[in-house]
Homo-oligomer: A and B are copies of this chain.
Amino acid sequence: MNERIAIVGVGLIGGSFALALKAAGHAGEIVGVGRDAERMAEALELGVVDRVETDAVAGVAGCDVVLLAVPMGAMQAVLAAIAPGLGPRTVVTDAGSVKGSVVRDARAALGTLVRFVPGHPIAGTEHSGVGAAFAELYRGRRVILTPTDDTDTDAADLVTSLWEKTGARVERLGVDEHDELLAATSHLPHMLAFGLVDALARDGDAERVFRYAAGGFRDFTRIASSDPVMWRDICLSNRGALLSALRAYRDDLDALTAEVEEADADGLLQRFRRAKAARDRFCG
């Protein structure tokens, strides 16, 4: 309970991690690290962290654990920036939505993965920034860790114990397994939603289209209001798995379209029944 922890990127994700550890009685110092002095001052003022550093090397110096809670697009640069400040036993973990690209970046920046524990907390709110952070964000939510074959067992266990203190349910998956699973269940649905809203917005009378929007459509618009920069970075970081998911989905959509075109009543009914049965079975 006495680890000194650096949190690089003190926003909703990093800030909530710090607050949850403090609420759980963590006694070690928690250092906030970020380039924006004003935002770091806010994190300190709010009592989210004990100390702040705007210099990456100074921030991680002497720390037992470093959590990278920065956007996917910043991971590579941040890993390179902290590398000179890490001690030989410092455990580095991250909170990025895609794991394969972070593992590649970590191997390049750190030279080894023995002290690197890739992680992905499946949690968030519609708000961002340290002001939105709260200690209960992770309670009951899943955190997926994807330790590599090279990762030390004790490093993975330490990161597991920290996440468990936040109230999260920690599970382990392979790196590729994680990225394929998230491509299917999160990244693809977001692509479909962004695509639909974008398509309808180009209608000659978009205002009318949205005005009449029925229930099914409103669910789509909500997830299409997510941060565009974050989603661009997720797309680029998880290109391979996302492409596979998009192509498989397109094949399914083509089959459904053919059934509509051919007025294939049985085919459509079977398709809808399969979907409803799966939904009721797994999400009931």
A interface residues with partner B (beta carbon < 8 Å)? 122, 124, 142, 144, 181-182, 184-186, 188-201, 203, 206-229, 231-232, 235-236, 239, 242-243, 246-250, 252-254, 256-257, 259-261, 263, 265, 268-269, 271-280, 282-283
Distance of A58 Cα from B201 Cα, bound (Å): 49
Among A198, A222, A256, A263, which residue has the most Cβ atoms of chain B within 10 A?
Answer: A198
Among A218, A256, A260, A279, which residue has the most Cβ atoms of chain B within 10 A?
Answer: A279
Question: So how many copies of this chain end up in the complex?
Answer: 2
Q: What are 6 A-B contacts defined by CB distance under 8 Å?
A: A185-B200, A221-B279, A235-B268, A239-B260, A243-B260, A250-B250
Q: Verify B192–A192 contact, CB threshold 8 A.
A: yes
Distance of A86 Cα from B273 Cα, bound (Å): 37
Q: Verify B283–A218 contact, CB threshold 8 A.
A: yes
Interface residue SS majority, chain A: helix
Shortest Cβ distance from A252 into chain B, in angstroms? 5
Query: A199: which of B193, B236, B252 is its contact (CB, 8 Å)?
Result: B252
In the complex, the 9 A-B pairs of residues with the closest C-beta atoms, listed nearest first: A201-B278, A228-B272, A210-B282, A189-B216, A186-B214, A219-B219, A197-B275, A198-B275, A194-B275
Distance of A198 Cα from B193 Cα, bound (Å): 17
Distance of A210 Cα from B184 Cα, bound (Å): 10
Q: Verify A215–B223 contact, CB threshold 8 A.
A: yes
| Given known A189-B220, A235-B268, A275-B224, contact A250–B257 (CB-CB < 8 A) | yes
Q: Verify B232–A274 contact, CB threshold 8 A.
A: no
Q: Verify B235–A198 contact, CB threshold 8 A.
A: no
